[in-house]
């Protein structure tokens, strides 16, 4: 089983995962949180140069904020889905569509104040497309495309059952219904949920909020599957 540390940057969970002698970071928080990240990393006994790979679950300002900064200071390789590599290389920060009233209001505000949500442009080293085993990079895990929140959203599933899902499901506002308040394609998102439910995953680690059990995801799936 991998060793999992949650480095919280603002509202975002960034997961530092150690397996054997390899170090993976899932998501790179928010612009301006660089020093906090480095401090937490040092407290765990690591340096920037110890990180082997950074997997960005999707290129939103709260998941790719310090990616460029990390890449400039370390040897890590950035992995993103092919549908979002161009967003990262242009430093764009699209705001996804709202799936409920709250999300719709935030989408409007987000588009007005778009300049506040920054991602510094950087290049991906590895572009994922379909299911991608990470064995060659030293991890007993795979990248699974789980689109819906964004077109190029991915999850990372370890063979031991831990699954890191980005904003595919979140447990921040409502612990019982983990449907995210934003999704560009809610129907696709529900299909991705089915993929996650049919996987061997034992627990889902979201980009926001606490760890989600398969039972809670299943109940949320049943509640939302006919909504869209
Ligand atoms: Zn997010
Ligand atoms: Zn997002």
Higher per-residue pLDDT: 226 or 39: 39
Mean pLDDT of 201-221: 97
Find the 12 Cα to ligand 1 centroid distance in Å.
Answer: 6
- Find the distance separating the first CA and the last CA of the chain, reported in whole Å: 37
pLDDT at 115: 67
Mean pLDDT estimate for the chain: 94
Count the Cβ atoms, other than its own, within 10 Å of residue 73.
15
Average pLDDT over residues 151-162: 98
**Of 33, 20, 22, which is closest to residue 7 (Cα–Cα)?**
33
Tell me how far the alpha carbon of residue 50 lies from the centroid of ligand 2, in angstroms. 27
Confidence at residue 117, expressed as pLDDT on a 0 to 100 scale: 74
Around ion ligand 2, residues with a beta carbon closer than 5 Å are: 60, 167
- Residue 97 banded pLDDT, cuts 50, 70, 90: confident
Least confident of 34-48, 109-123, 192-206: 109-123
- Ligand sitting nearest the alpha carbon of 183: 2
**Average pLDDT of the segment spanning 187-204:** 97
pTM equals 0.94
CA of 52 to the centre of ligand 1 (A): 23
* pLDDT, tens digit (0-9, with 9 covering 90-100), for 103-154: 787 877 777 767 667 789 999 999 999 999 999 999 999 999 999 999 999 9
pLDDT at 9: 96
pLDDT (average), residues 49-55 = 98
Q: How far is the CA of 84 from the centre of ligand 2 (A)?
A: 12
Q: What pLDDT sits at residue 133?
A: 98
Whether residue 81 is predicted with pLDDT greater than 80 in this model: the reply is yes
Is pLDDT above 80 for 102?
no
Picking from 28-42, 95-109, 175-189, which range would have the lowest pLDDT averaged per residue? Answer: 95-109
Q: How far is the CA of 167 from the centre of ligand 1 (A)?
A: 5
Dump the DSSP string for 46-101: --GGG--EEE-SS--HHHHTTHHHHHHHS-PEEEEEHHHHHHHHHT--PPPPBSSH
Separation between Cα atoms, residue 26 and residue 79, nearest integer Å: 10
Strands ordered across the beta sheet of 22-26: 3-9, 12-19, 22-26, 53-55, 77-81, 126-128
CA of 149 to the centre of ligand 2 (A): 7
Domains belonging to the chain, first-starting first, are 3-224 (3.60.15.10)
**207 Cα to the center of ligand 1, angstroms:** 6
Residues 6 or more apart whose Cβ sits within 8 Å of residue 143: 55, 79, 81, 128, 131, 132, 134, 154, 155, 156
């Amino acid at each position: 089983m991998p060793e999992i540390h949650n480095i919280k940057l603002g509202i975002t969970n960034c997961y530092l995962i150690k397996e054997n002698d390899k170090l993976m970071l899932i998501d790179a928080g928010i612009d301006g949180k660089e020093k906090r990240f480095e401090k937490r990393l040092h407290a765990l006994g690591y340096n920037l140069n110890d990180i082997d790979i950074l997997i960005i679950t999707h290129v939103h300002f709260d998941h790719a904020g310090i990616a460029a900064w990390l890449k400039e200071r370390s040897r890590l390789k950035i992995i993103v889905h092919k549908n979002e590599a161009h967003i990262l290389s242009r430093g764009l920060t699209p705001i996804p569509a709202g799936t409920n009233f709250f999300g719709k209001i935030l989408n409007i505000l987000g588009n007005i104040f778009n300049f506040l949500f920054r991602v510094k442009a950087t290049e991906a080293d590895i572009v994922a497309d379909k299911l991608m085993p990470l064995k060659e990079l030293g991890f007993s895990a795979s990248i699974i495309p789980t689109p819906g929140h964004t077109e190029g959203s991915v999850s990372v599933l370890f063979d031991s059952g831990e699954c890191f899902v980005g904003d595919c499901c979140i447990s921040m506002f409502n612990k019982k219904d983990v449907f995210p308040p934003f999704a560009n394609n809610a129907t696709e998102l529900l299909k991705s949920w089915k993929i996650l439910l049919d996987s061997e995953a034992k627990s889902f680690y979201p980009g926001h909020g606490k760890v989600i059990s398969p039972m809670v995801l299943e109940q949320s799936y049943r509640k939302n599957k006919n909504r869209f």
